[in-house]
């Protein structure tokens, strides 16, 4: 029996066991398998291991997407976590290549995936508060939001959760160094039903702009002189 003789339901089940590249390769063999590849039901879950994967054409975004994760655990993530004003030219060049990649992708999700239920971002050092705010607004059914090692995420995201996260049940903001205890307490106060976890976040050293650091150093010197 040839694979194309299987019915649509069986083909979708078989495709579900394949990774994105294998699905794309199989879809190139005939029109029937291409139609299966393009079926929205096949794309309810997407997992990416680096920003580079977001630029490939081996997946589809649509209303059927329910679960999305972008988890980048490469050593190169450390470069993105360096404060912008401390990066050397090589580090800036590296970040410039993908600085807007995840944000742009999430904006597409906002526009095309209103039924998203779960979002996990790990090691996405360039994701911004504004992007998460838009996602909360455009994906009102979002129940799980997990952010790990996303250094640009601040209390503004926590405030957005209190305003637009009406369906949210689980919120993780682990190792996000610009999250404060004040922001966490506000979420606990405004959204008591949300299961909140913030491993190390409020205990990490937050970013300070250079002018703030200078002011702190001057204040310290004055205190010592006194």
Beta carbons within 10 angstroms of residue 142's beta carbon: 23
pLDDT in tens, 6-28: 999 999 999 999 999 999 999 99
Give kind and range of the element (H or E) at residue 48. strand 45-48
Q: pTM of the entire structure? A: 0.85
CA gap 206, 83 in Å, rounded: 10
CA gap 166, 170 in Å, rounded: 11
What is the architecture, at CATH level 2, of domain 1-39? Answer: Up-down Bundle (1.20)
pLDDT grade, residue 200 (50/70/90)? confident
CA gap 12, 150 in Å, rounded: 35
CA gap 80, 126 in Å, rounded: 7
Q: What class is the 43-197 domain?
A: alpha beta
Q: Supply the pLDDT for residue 86.
A: 81
pLDDT in tens, 129-173: 999 999 999 999 999 999 999 999 999 999 999 999 999 999 999
Domain ranges of the chain: 1-39, 43-197
What does the pLDDT average to over 75-87? 80
């Amino acid at each position: 029996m040839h694979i194309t003789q299987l019915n649509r339901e069986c083909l979708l089940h078989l495709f579900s066991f394949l990774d994105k590249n294998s699905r794309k390769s199989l879809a190139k063999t005939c029109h029937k398998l291409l139609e299966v590849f393009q079926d929205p039901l096949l794309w309810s879950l997407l997992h990416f291991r680096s920003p580079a994967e977001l630029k490939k054409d081996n997946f589809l975004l649509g209303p059927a997407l329910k679960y999305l994760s972008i988890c980048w655990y490469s050593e190169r993530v450390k470069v993105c976590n360096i404060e912008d004003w401390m990066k050397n030219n090589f580090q800036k060049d590296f970040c410039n290549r993908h600085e807007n990649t995840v944000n742009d992708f999430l904006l597409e999700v906002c526009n095309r995936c209103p039924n998203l239920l779960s979002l996990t971002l790990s090691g996405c050092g360039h994701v911004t508060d504004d992007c998460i705010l838009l996602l909360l607004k455009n994906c009102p059914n979002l129940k799980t939001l997990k952010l790990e090692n996303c250094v640009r995420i601040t209390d503004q995201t926590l405030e957005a959760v209190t305003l637009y996260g009406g369906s949210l049940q689980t919120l993780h903001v682990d190792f996000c160094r610009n999250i404060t205890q004040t922001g966490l307490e506000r979420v606990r106060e405004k959204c008591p039903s949300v299961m909140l976890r913030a491993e190390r976040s409020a205990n990490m050293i937050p970013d300070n702009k250079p002018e703030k650091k200078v002011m702190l150093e001057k204040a310290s010197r004055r205190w010592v002189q006194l």
